[in-house]
Amino acid sequence: MRLIMGKPEKGKPYHIYVEETEKRIGAFREFDPARLRGESAGEGPLSGLPLAVQENIAVRGFRQGCGSRMLEGFVSPVTATAVRRLQDRGAVVAGTTKMEEFGLLRLFPDGVSGKEGGPERENPPGGACSPRDDDHPVGGAASAVAAGMAAVALASDGEGEVRRDAAACGVYGLRPSWGVVSRRGLASVSPSLETVGVVAGTAARVREVFRIIRGRDDGDPCSRDHPADAGPGGRRIGTYRISIEPSGEEAWRAALDSLGRRGFSVREAPPPMMEHWVPVYQALAAAETASSLARFDGVRFGRRSGGAEDPESLVRRARGEGFGIEVKLRILLGTHILRPPWRELFHDRAVSQRAAIRRAFDEYFGEVDMVLLPVSPPSALGGRDGDDHLPGWRNKDRFNLAAALAGLPALSFPVTTGGGRPVGLQLMGPPFGEERLFEAAEALAEDFPPASPPGLGRDWR
């Protein structure tokens, strides 16, 4: 095995570098590359490369806490299909990474995850990652890749976590078409919206990993094969103009110029039904979250609190102590939406609007082959909007929600101009259109090469 088993060509041994870097970054929940080393194939395209796995994706022998006190101490007895497929190609699970509770970005600063919800940085390696603060947390998966502690990471993407964190850290993040990557082993709270995503330092590495983990899995009845004829093709790119900060504007124009020089046709073509993305996602995600987390009652699943005098108080104490404020907010909203008469007014209408969004995108991708969008404006484009009320907070991720609603692939990539910090943009395509996204991202990388992780002598990107 290449790097994880010993000393790189120059620089520090892998485990020493990670231990020193982890003290500043705080990306891993557990770090132990020796624990499952024997389960990885000795030879393969990923032989010896360290793999980081977000802690809501099952890895046998590692805790699967999902960033919540409710699952504190739970050790997974199985390994997720996506992780197993990478192990079969030689990747070594280095550890599990931190995340917000059940992957839900916190509205309030006093959620369960607290300062352990994402990596905390004083001065992130290479300047690639945004500083950690209570309003803009960054997940551990993207931080581990950006800091050179992992060659690739797997994480869940529902409301854009993979793309948002990758954009903040100056790396690449892929949300695949829904169902193309098996969700067996993923602790999902919004099953119809979430999927397993990939984070890596280059578009080529993301492509390589995606080709390994994709495909039907008997353990996930919703999984499906990627069509053999869904290769590259189509160079028409639609764009959507928004008001952004000067640094973001520079990166946006640079990306458009680069694509134009490399033979892509770029024209303004706003994606359909944008005004519906946020409310439809809010209604469906809240309803699915409430339904999924109803099982955690301290009796059948989840932590059991002491001092309860009857079953009702046991459930109340277990959920009160086990869930954070953001999770409780989603449960309350989702439970309300699912009760009559509100179900017909909110949930059923959201389901109908979701179907309309899918149909609209089918027509839209007859006119263009992919669309270029920001990731999280305006903060990801060099500014801070200061909105801390509910609608403003939700709108920060509005460009990430369409992929989840319509089951579309989306790839975030960094653009660095003028020696500044990278700006995150994303390309979104039709179902099974991952290859055309990789083609465009790799073309952009020729003008905006990704930064190498600092400190480690060997760059596995």
pLDDT at residue 212 above 60?
yes
pLDDT at residue 369 above 70?
yes
Close Cβ partners of 14 (under 8 Å, ≥ 6 residues apart): 3, 4, 6, 7, 8, 33, 50, 456
pLDDT at residue 122 above 80?
no
Are 31 and 45 spatial neighbours (Cβ–Cβ below 8 Å)? no
Q: What does the pLDDT average to over 186-213?
A: 96
pLDDT at residue 117 above 50?
no
Q: Give residue 423's pLDDT band: very low, low, confident or very high (50, 70, 90).
A: confident
User: What is the CA 94 to chain-centroid distance, rounded?
Assistant: 18
Examine residue 368 and state whether it is found in any structural domain, yes or no.
no
- Predicted confidence at residue 239, as pLDDT, reads 93
Q: Which of 249, 253, 252, 245 is nearest to 383 (CA)?
A: 245
pLDDT at residue 460 above 80?
no
195, two tokens: 């999927």
Per cent of the chain over pLDDT 90 is 61
- Predicted confidence at residue 358, as pLDDT, reads 97
Range of the domain at 217: 14-231
pLDDT per residue as tens digits for the range 26-55: 999 999 998 888 888 778 889 989 999 999
CATH number for the domain harbouring residue 162: 3.90.1300.10
- Predicted confidence at residue 128, as pLDDT, reads 40
Of 98-107, 108-117, 285-294, 332-341, the one with minimum mean pLDDT is 108-117
The residue among 391 and 454 whose pLDDT is bigger is 454
Q: Give residue 9's pLDDT band: very low, low, confident or very high (50, 70, 90).
A: very low
Averaged pLDDT score across all residues of the chain: 84
Highest mean pLDDT among 67-76, 390-399, 418-427, 452-461: 67-76
Distance CA 64, CA 66 (A): 6
33, two tokens: 């590359």
Examine residue 241 and state whether it is found in any structural domain, yes or no.
no
pLDDT at residue 1 above 60?
no
Helices (H), 386-433: 390-395, 401-406
pLDDT at residue 151 above 50?
yes
Of 108-112, 323-327, 404-408, the one with minimum mean pLDDT is 108-112
Distance linking the first and last C-alpha atoms of the chain: 16
Examine residue 94 and state whether it is found in any structural domain, yes or no.
yes
407, two tokens: 């089951």
Q: What is the DSSP string of 47-59?
A: TT-EEEEETTB--
Q: How many domains, in total, are found in the chain?
A: 1
- Predicted confidence at residue 96, as pLDDT, reads 96
- Predicted confidence at residue 222, as pLDDT, reads 93
pLDDT at residue 456 above 60?
no
Q: What is the DSSP pairing of strand 50-54 with strand 236-239?
A: unpaired
pLDDT per residue as tens digits for the range 253-277: 899 999 999 999 999 999 999 999 9
Q: How many CB atoms lie within 10 A of CB 262?
A: 15
- Residue where the block lists tokens 């999984």: 223
pLDDT at residue 178 above 90?
yes
- Predicted confidence at residue 285, as pLDDT, reads 94
- Predicted confidence at residue 417, as pLDDT, reads 76
Examine residue 291 and state whether it is found in any structural domain, yes or no.
no
The residue among 13 and 373 whose pLDDT is bigger is 373
pTM for this predicted structure: 0.89
Examine residue 124 and state whether it is found in any structural domain, yes or no.
yes
SS3 176: coil
pLDDT at residue 422 above 90?
no
Examine residue 9 and state whether it is found in any structural domain, yes or no.
no
Q: In what order do the strands lie in the sheet with 410-415?
A: 28-31, 92-97, 50-54, 152-157, 195-200, 172-175, 410-415, 423-428, 370-374, 236-239, 265-268
Q: What does the pLDDT average to over 15-23?
A: 89
Give the DSSP H or E segment for 443: helix 434-447
- Predicted confidence at residue 386, as pLDDT, reads 40
Examine residue 273 and state whether it is found in any structural domain, yes or no.
no
Are 42 and 114 spatial neighbours (Cβ–Cβ below 8 Å)? no
- Residue where the block lists tokens 């602790």: 187
Q: Give residue 5's pLDDT band: very low, low, confident or very high (50, 70, 90).
A: very low
Q: What is the DSSP string of 73-122?
A: T-B-SS--HHHHHHHTTT-EEEEEE--SGGG---SSTTSTTGGGSS---S
- Predicted confidence at residue 137, as pLDDT, reads 59
Examine residue 373 and state whether it is found in any structural domain, yes or no.
no
Distance CA 168, CA 138 (A): 7
